[in-house]
Structure 1
Amino acid sequence: MKRLTAFFTDDLLFTVSFLIAIISCYFGAFSLKSIDFNVIFCLFGLMLFVKNIENLGILNYFAEKMIDFSATTRSLIRNIVLLSFISSMILTNDVAILTLMPIYLTIIKKFPAMENKIAGAVLLIVAANLGSSFFPFGNPQNLFLFSFYSLSTAQFFEWALLLLFSSLSFLLIAFLFIKKRTIPKQNSPLPIINKKKMFFLSLTGLFILFGVFNVLPYFIVIPIAAIILTIYDKEMLRQIDYKLLWTFVFFFIAVGNFSQVDMISTFIKEQFTSNTRTFFGSILVSQMISNVPAAILIAPFTEQAQALFFGVNVGGLGTIIASLANLIGFKLYKEYYPAQSKKFILQFTLINFVFLICFVLFFSFLL
């Protein structure tokens, strides 16, 4: 009983998502179609790959190089946050966070007295969510909206550029609030990397990315890559955060079940009738069920494509569940600093809502 209690109390987000999924089954019929197995498979493959990279010492290598490029704590946070912003455009927000958050956390482990380390982690997540909105394939909600509304490339980038420049402006302002402290010079030598193992892992990582970007079928690529990586290091499978994967599954189930309720569908259809109502409504729904399910749920009931685009992308800011990428960032931080979970949630919520308010004020004058 103690083990069972500890299992559910150790990760409250997992427990809450589990309870919501069970409750939702009362309102709608459970269907496997509700679960986006593409997301689950790809996330599993990426987590396994990053764990192998971490054990090989590559994260420590990049951490040391990042420190060399940065003279102060502000420039250090600014450099890795901007890297997250730019890389998420191509790699997607999930991949950017999975790749860069461990590097950032490895860096700050070297400076126990460093200030604003939680703020830096939160800004990294915010940057990944915002930067990934620039290309249709950067995040799932934009890929869905691009296809559902048959948007032209010119139209999409007209909206995306506006979001990109406003996002970059708000991030640059945010850096001014990071305390500027000189980083002491590091005399420790760079870790030695086994080049043969690095080459092998790079090929495997590229193979996984083929599945993530649908170059090859994910349901074939990811299992093969998982088997290869497991043979390479059998202990890897034990280090994967399976609760995070199940949290995603439970959210997909809940959204799928609740969307079957006629009252909810009717309510959505009546509410999303104008640009302003669609913008604010999609932000609100994103806070409760995350922005990807919100886009899928709302799109069939409104013709306000632009407002929905801005709403679900900005709506990834706010609560910890507003974007599934937020959950990934939180879980990674918790792995390194388990005692700071509550403090992280508080700062995450504060910083995200400040950004959200800024975007709401900005787009209120444009829609």
Structure 2
Amino acid sequence: MTVIKNIAKDRILQITVVITIISLFFARPRIEDINFHTLYSILAMLTIIQIFSYLHVLDVLAYKLTASARSTRRLTAIFTILSIISAMFLTNDITVLTLIPLYLTIARRHHLPEILPVTLIGMGANIGAAFTPWGNPHNIFVVNRYNVSPIKFFSWSIPLLLVSLIIVLVFIFFVKDKPIPTVPLEDIRISIRPMLLTIAVSIFFFFGVFNIVPAYVPAIVAVILALIINPSIMLHVDYALLLTFTCFFIFISDIQQIPFIVTLISKTMFSEHSVFLTSIISSQFISNVPSTILIGKFTNFAEALFLGSNIGGFGSIVGSMANMLVFKSFVENGTVSKRKFFWVFSVLEFAGLIILTVLGWIVLDFVI
């Protein structure tokens, strides 16, 4: 029942279901338009994430690293860097949901700044997630849709990562540097054997993403491992996200059969730069996941779509699911003005968006 309740109360899924139902009045979905490879890969990813969460891997890393922090700036830097690295492997959503409540717990205990550090942790999650094919769910879609090789993918993501790192490192220096007491280390232990097995399955998942093995095989292996470690792990998998992607595919299958919509969207797909900008702008209003899937049906400019969708995750609070989760976590755990947080978060996010948009434009002109 808990699983069903969690699915039913997911706002993004609710909106997607309504939009999908409306689209069914105009057309019927075609089975070939549903990308099952992407759905299998997302199921595997979500299962692996929950196994790592159950094993408290990220919690242990966070507590061990923060135990050595001596100042507010250093603590912020540690959390931001940890956010970037963990999002590369565990996605930006799970990173945000784990690290932000943890940081705010420490901040309340020692009266530390909240707004800027939380904003940087959220930005770090988006940066790290953009770097790997599985960090963002829509990256999986791009890899599968265009059959992108690992070398090609990382040739796109590395420039984005490097410039993004410079941006957050500059922002970190705006955190007031004050000494803090030693953060006590919590007694959290990791089971080594299950962790090693999960890492092995994660590597196997990599083969599925890049079509080296059928995508359903890593998904089955991940589910079996979760059931062996603890069957309750499967109760915490984000099935709402999986259903949301399924609805996206159905909705897009429907609307691409409507001539007026096809003509309208096609007019914005005439070049790499137009796809790039369309992806960024649409992400600000409908989030980068549905934007990627929608635009991906109308263009073959994979590089532009990748850059636009990941850069589009910056900016507005709906630019990515992670942004919404950052705000939600701050509302639930923060102790200072939510309105002030919203404005600081928005200003820094849009500053990052502008800088990265310029970078993306340059990459399309001179690198790719």
TM-superposition CA deviations, 1:97-132 (whole Å, max 9, x none) = 535752453343233255554544443343343344
1:171 aligns with 2:168: yes
The answer to whether the aligner puts 1:180 opposite 2:182 as a matched pair is: no
2:91 alignment partner AA: V
One-letter identity of the residue aligned with 2:108: P
Alpha-carbon displacement from aligned partner over 1:63-104 (angstroms, at most 9, x marks no partner)? 321112322232222223223334555x3xx53653575245
**Could you say which residue in structure 1 is the equivalent of 2:311?**
314
Distance 2:74 2:359 in 1: 27
Alignment of 1:273 with 2:270, yes or no, is yes
Which ranges in structure 1 are unaligned for 5 or more consecutive residues?
none
Query: Shift of residue 203 of structure 1?
Result: 1.0
1:200 aligns with 2:194: yes
Contact 2:308–2:360 (CA under 8 A) maintained in structure 1: no
- Correspondence for 2:252: 255
Secondary structure of the structure 2 residue equivalent to 1:180: coil
The separation in 2 between residues aligned to 1:269 and 1:347, in whole angstroms, is 36
Structure 1 residues 122 and 206, CA, compared in 2 at 3 Å: closer, same or farther?
farther
Specify the SS of the correspondent of 1:317: coil
Partner of 2:313, secondary structure, is: coil
Offset at residue 140 of structure 1 (A): 6.0
- d(CA) in 1 for partners of 2:147, 2:257: 25
**What is the rounded CA distance, in whole Å, between the counterparts of 2:247 and 2:304 in structure 1?**
28
CA 1:24 to 1:46, structure 2 compared with 1: closer, same or farther past 3 Å?
Answer: farther
| Residues paired across the two proteins, number | 352
Question: 3-state SS of the aligned residue for 1:29?
Answer: coil
Q: 2:13·2:240 contact (CA, 8 Å) conserved in 1?
A: yes
Q: Distance in 1 between matches of 2:302 and 2:11?
A: 35
The residue identity in structure 2 corresponding to 1:16 is I
Query: 1:133 touches 1:139 (CA, 8 Å); kept in 2?
Result: yes
Given residue 94 of structure 2, which amino acid in structure 1 is its aligned partner? L
In structure 1, distance between residues paired with 2:285 and 2:7? 21
Matching residue of 2:288: 291
Matched, 1:37 2:39: yes
> Which residue is 2:72 aligned to?
73
Separation in structure 2 between the aligned mates of residue 202 and residue 282 of structure 1, nearest angstrom:
38
Is residue 62–residue 103 contact of structure 1 (8 Å, CA) maintained in 2? no
Give the alignment's TM-score, normalised by structure 2. Answer: 0.73
**Closer/same/farther in 2, CA of residues 63 and 104 from structure 1, 3 Å limit:** farther
Local SS of the residue matching 1:30: coil
Counterpart secondary structure, 2:107: coil
What root-mean-square deviation, in Å, do the aligned CA atoms of Structure 1 and Structure 2 show? 4.3
CA distance in 1, matches of 2:220, 2:172: 41
Judged with a 3 Å threshold, the aligned counterparts in structure 2 of structure 1 residues 228 and 283 are, in CA distance, closer, same or farther, namely closer
> Distance in 2 between the 1:318 and 1:310 partners?
14
CA distance in 2 between partners of 1:299 and 1:229 (Å): 32
Tell me the equivalent position of 2:187: 191
Asked if the contact 1:41–1:218 (Cα under 8 Å) also holds between the matched residues in 2, the reply is: no
* 1:353 match: secondary structure: helix
The question of whether the paired residues in 1 share the 8 Å contact of 2:248 and 2:293 is answered with: no
Check whether the contact 2:91–2:125 (CA below 8 A) recurs between aligned residues.
Answer: no
Change (3 A) 1:261 1:287: farther
TM-score between the two structures when normalised by the length of structure 1: 0.73
Query: Mind listing any 5+ residue stretches in structure 2 that lack a counterpart?
Result: none
Residue 64 (structure 1) aligned with residue 63 (structure 2)? yes
Question: Paired residue for 2:51?
Answer: 49
Query: How big is each residue's C-alpha offset from its partner over 1:143-192, in whole Å with a ceiling of 9 and x where there is no partner?
Result: 76678778898876665454333222221222233343332113x45516
Give the distance between the partners of 2:303 and 2:229, measured in 1 at CA: 47
- Report the alpha carbon displacement of residue 357 of structure 1 after superposing the two structures with TM: 2.8
Instruction: List aligned pairs for 1:75-94, cutoff 5 A.
Output: 75-86=74-85, 88=87, 91=89, 94=90
Distance change >3 Å, CA 311–CA 7, structure 1 → 2 = closer
**What is the Cα deviation at residue 45 of structure 1?**
0.6
Give distance in 2, aligned partners of 1:234 and 1:141: 28
Q: Residue type of the partner of 1:207? A: V
1:42 Cα deviation after fit = 2.1
Query: Alignment identity in percent?
Result: 29
Deviates more, 1:246-255 or 1:151-160: 151-160
Partner of 2:61: helix, strand, or coil?
Answer: helix
Counterpart-to-counterpart distance in 2, 1:256 and 1:355: 33
Cα distance in 2 for partners of 1:354, 1:247 equals 30
Match for residue 121 of structure 2? 124
Name the stretch that deviates more: 279-288 or 208-217. Answer: 208-217
Contact 2:41/2:140 (CA < 8 Å) preserved in 1?
no
- 1:97–1:125: 8 Å Cα contact kept in structure 2? no
Correspondence list, 1:208-357, <5 A: 208-214=202-208, 217-298=214-295, 301=298, 307-323=304-320, 326=323, 329-330=325-326, 333=329, 337=333, 349-357=346-354
Matches within 5 A, 1:104-123: 104-112=100-108, 114-117=111-114, 119-123=116-120
Deviations 1:23-49 (A, max 9, x none): 232233234543531244124313431
Does the 8 Å CA contact 1:207/1:221 hold for their aligned counterparts?
yes
| Superposed displacement of residue 325, structure 1 | 5.2
